[in-house]
Amino acid sequence: MIKHIKSKIAPVLFGFFVMGFCDLVGIATSYAEKEYALSEPVAGFLPSMVFLWFLVFAVPVGVWMNRLGRKKTVLSSMFITLAALLLGSVPGHAALCYLSFALLGIGNTVLQVSLNPLLTNVVRSDKWTGSLTAGQFIKAVSSFCGPLIAGWASVTLDSWHYMFPVFAVITLLSTLWLMSTSIDETQAGSKTVSFVSAFGLLRDHTIRLFFLGIVVVVGVDVGLNTAAPKILMERCSLSLAEAGWGTSVYFLFRTIGTFTGAFLLAGYPPRPFFIGSMVIAVLTMLDLIFLAHGLPHILAAIALMGLAIANVFPILFSAALQRIPAKANEISGLMIMGVSGGAVIPPLMGWLTVRMGTQTGSLVVILGCVGYLLWCSYRVQGRRS
């Protein structure tokens, strides 16, 4: 029986590797800017082609999923992702590049809305948080692979576009594996779903709290990636190439954090883990604002933030699903819509940085965000109904 259950978990978890392909946009922006001679503002619009769709399609997909089914919705996202990657394989056309990432963003939105609740069909409810954290670890590994494969393709094959066929093959394998797996969805949520019922869930104070928590944690994640090199350049007089280590350190320790969290959250309740992580995050941000100036000190603080933030998304997502299990599909759509927070928090950081004349302004915004998450951590409880 255990072996049978594990055989169903594996293809679902492998889908999180495909989910990580949206992070290709980070390294692709630099390559596209150079290949197509784009201005920085125009190149900067490329990531927006990914994040925009989380705001537009997350809730509609949650509604649509109730009619189509979770597994079929995941498979549809795979086909959209496959089309995006095939388009990205064609060099020499900036318009195709933008279209490719628009499709990648749409596919990723559909995948994130449907894959997380599908996982709850193959694991016990007391293992949801640990399993979602394991999925986030797999996604983080995928995010690491993108720059490495892009660099290999650029140097060895003379074009960064060759990374897209590699990821297309992986997506195809994931699709075929999931198609061949039978998953019972007889308890897959409510039967009557509409936009009104989905957005109506925000009337629940706790669901609203967790939704804003998702907005904030994704904003912190994107914001830290943006701010880390700038802080190092400002305080340690490093070049941009040298300051890039700040982002690398953050990603490394966030991956370590998700790996560790996958084991800890499988055996321990998430609430004390969440509270402890956020206490560490608040103290670390205070340290970054008032004390950290030397290179080792700043890198250590960035690493600690990576560890502290690593498991917040799966904890909030799992807590929201367990709050009202019968509305899992609608809740998934709402929570994934919060991923658009990656386009909300960084502009606030930039605005306060300009007002204060120093990168400390961006850190103050992040401090406010982790303060909110600390408050959220005390509200993580079991299911309501």
- pLDDT single digits (tens) 223-267: 787 777 778 878 887 765 566 677 778 878 888 888 888 777 767
Single-letter code of the amino acid located at 74: V
Q: Final residue of a domain: which of 155, 181, 207? A: 181
**Cα torsion through 83, 25, 97, 333, rounded to 10:** 50
Which of 152, 181, 210 lies at the terminal end of a domain, its last residue? 181
Q: How far apart are CA 93 and CA 96, in angstroms?
A: 5
Whether 165 and 232 share a structural domain? no
- Looking at the structure, tell me whether residues 222 and 157 fall in a common domain: no
> Residue 200 has which token pair?
């109506």
Q: Give the residue from 135, 150, 181 where a domain finishes.
A: 181
Gap between the Cα atoms of 88 and 162, Å rounded? 9
Work out the average pLDDT over 33-44.
68
Same domain (yes/no): 356, 225: yes
pLDDT at 82 over 90: yes
What pLDDT is recorded for position 40? 53
Average pLDDT of the segment spanning 39-64: 74
**Would you say residue 382 lies in a domain?**
no
Q: Which helix (H) or strand (E) holds 310?
A: none
Residue 11 domain-assigned?
Answer: yes
Q: How many structural domains are present in the chain?
A: 2
75 and 210 in a single domain? The answer is: no
User: Are 151 and 298 members of one domain?
Assistant: no
Q: Is residue 305 part of a domain?
A: yes
Residue 206 burial by Cβ neighbours in a 10 Å radius (0-12, 13-18, 19+): middle
Q: Is residue 194 part of a domain?
A: no
Co-location of 334 and 368 in the same domain: yes
Window from 107-121, 190-204, 315-329 with minimum mean pLDDT: 190-204
pLDDT at 187: 55
| Helix, strand or coil, per DSSP, at residue 236 | helix
The pLDDT of residue 157 is 81
- Both 315 and 203 in one domain: the answer is yes
**In this structure, are 219 and 170 located in the same domain?**
no
Q: Could you read off the pLDDT of 311-327 as tens digits, one per residue?
A: 888 888 888 877 777 77
204 and 343 share one domain: yes
- Flag whether 163 is in a domain: yes
Structural contact between residues 16 and 135, judged by C-beta atoms closer than 8 angstroms: yes
Same domain membership, residue 159 and residue 10: yes
Is residue 325 a part of any domain in this protein?
yes
pTM: 0.72
Residues 206 and 137 in one domain: no
pLDDT value of position 171: 93
pLDDT digits (tens, 9 = 90+) for 127-146: 666 677 778 788 878 877 77
pLDDT tens digits, residue range 356-377? 888 888 889 999 999 999 998 8
Task: Report pLDDT for 75.
Answer: 93
| Domain span holding position 268 | 199-377
Cβ contact 69:113 at 8 Å: no
CATH classification at residue 262: 1.20.1250.20
Average pLDDT in the chain: 80
Do residues 366 and 290 share a domain?
yes
Top pLDDT among 180 and 201 is at 180
pLDDT of residue 283: 94
The verdict on residue 187 lying in a domain is no
| Position 1 confidence tier, pLDDT thresholds 50, 70, 90 | very low
In the structure, what pLDDT confidence band is assigned to residue 194 with cuts at 50, 70 and 90?
A: low
In a domain, 370, yes or no: yes
